[in-house]
Amino acid sequence: MLFNSYIFVFIFFPLCLLGYYGLLHGQRPQAAKLFLTFMSFWFYGYFNLSYLLIMVGSIAFNYIFHLLLSKKPDKKLIFLAVAGNLGILFYFKYFDFFLSTVNTVFQSSFALRGILLPLGISFFTFQQISFVVDTYRGEVQNCSLIDYALFVSFFPQLIAGPIVNHGEMLPQFRKAGQDEVRWEQIAEGFGLFILGMAKKVLIADTFGAGADYGYDNIAFLGRMDAVLVIVFYALQLYFDFSGYCDMARGIGKMLGIEIPVNFDSPYKATNIVEFWKRWHITLNRFFTKYVYIPLGGNRKGAARMYLNLMIVFLLSGLWHGAGWNYLVWGAMHGVLYVVTRFWQRMIGGRGALQKQCGRRDSKEENAGNDSSVINNIVERTSLGCRIRASIMTLLSQVLLFAYVSIAWVYFRAQDIAQANSLLAAAIKGNLQKISLDLAECFRLDEFWYVIKILHLDNMAYSRYILMAGILAAGLYLSMAGPNAAQRMERSRFRAGSVFVLAVLMVWSILSFSGVSTFLYFNF
């Protein structure tokens, strides 16, 4: 079931809210949690009943190990638990990739199984691995089956994250019904849900149309077409993933549950280290705690730290998909991350510009006690540094966005060859006018009607007006504007904000028939 669907908005979630709060109001918290678990099962099983059976089996498997490890934290048991989870994930997600690789290397002819990938299996598998490992470490207290089943299956974060941990979710489930209903939290959640829905339905899918056209017609793309397609996908993925995260957090808030932030304006980052503190935050947290630190982290010298970082990024690439192109994507991020960390260590975490701005120049030192002279010099120095710092920040942000967008090509492409073809078109393609067919992907009826009213449709470049406007809006919202959470904090539900939210909600719902699934459903 999609968040951006009629059945979810008009049937599923209203029933969920009424049933959950009705049971809590009747002082039946255990029944309320059981009801929420049942609704989560319905949400997941709606896609495919076999998915639900796999998830329920996974919950039972891990809960048994939780009980065993709670009594005796045995190394053999934790090995079996982790190996079992990874084995299930390997079979469903990587077995065909493994067979195809064997066939390529050894010229064999093993038949691929065509295994259907259960939605969200990477997310709920990693979530349960962290749970059983923390049980082994003694970090998890006794957990009831109802709480555990809800912890794993809680529908807002089940399909595409975040990868939550027990410490931030189980205490909230256990407190269900103990606190009074916070209407302000529900209203904020509703606003977040609408903004996330608008990101997905109105923005992400619009850029997605341009990206899909480009990847389907690489052979016919000119140089500018290819560059635009690369940018379109970077923006599609941003608004798709951040839209899902906003909707998930909004649903959680409406149910009185705080879901951790998983997405914090990553395209505002000025280096790759900062980017990974903002993009898929909980996946980064998982790999740091359960892979990077156990490998030694930064405790065994710089060379070992850089190796550990590369291992983490290669595993991150493999986690996202079974294909060599995902490994290339992970390697590209890993290499830049290692280079950035090396540079930060070399300069001690401070940029040359900051050091320069932090020093008093000789004129200031020789100015004596004349306060007016000192103030003028400091003001000029401060202004100059601020201007240079702003320029360097903007340049760093743009260069990082360009690098990340190029890496996304391998993330989006079917294989390495297709990715290389698109990048070759962007570098060596013909310098021709932007494809009219590409521009037509942005011809939204609601905006095109306005263009016709203003009699702009007869202009030579009228077909490109919408594409340029939507692209500019997308770049501003992702790289400079406040994100959805910040907008909700500022809105305070004034009349203007409520009107905008109402318009976005109606507009999004009317656009449901043309939307696609969330991109991260594939991972």
Query: What distance lies between CA 87 and its chain's CA centroid?
Result: 25
Residue corresponding to tokens 């790289």: 479
In SS3 terms, 301-360 reads as CHHHHHHHHHHHHHHHHHHHCCCHHHHHHHHHHHHHHHHHHHHHHHCCCCCHHHHHHHCC
Residue 320 is among the residues annotated as catalytic for this protein:
yes
Burial 192-223 (b: 16+ CB within 10 A, else e): bbbbbbbbbbbbbbbbbbbbbbbbeebeebbb
Q: Angle at the Cα of 102 (from 99 to 104), degrees rounded to 5?
A: 110
Nearest-CA neighbor of 488 among 500, 476, 480, 479? 500
Candidates 66, 166, 280, 320; catalytic one: 320
Nearest-CA neighbor of 518 among 96, 18, 123, 49? 123
Other CB atoms within 10 A of residue 155 CB: 26
d(CA 27, CA 426): 62
The answer to whether the CB of 119 falls within 8 A of the CB of 159 is yes
Intra-chain end-to-end CA distance of the chain, in Å: 16
Residue 65 dihedral angles phi and psi, to the nearest 5°: -70, -30
d(CA 326, CA 332): 10
* Structure tokens belonging to residue 67: 């009980």
Other CB atoms within 10 A of residue 55 CB: 24
Instruction: Give me the active site residues, please.
Output: 320
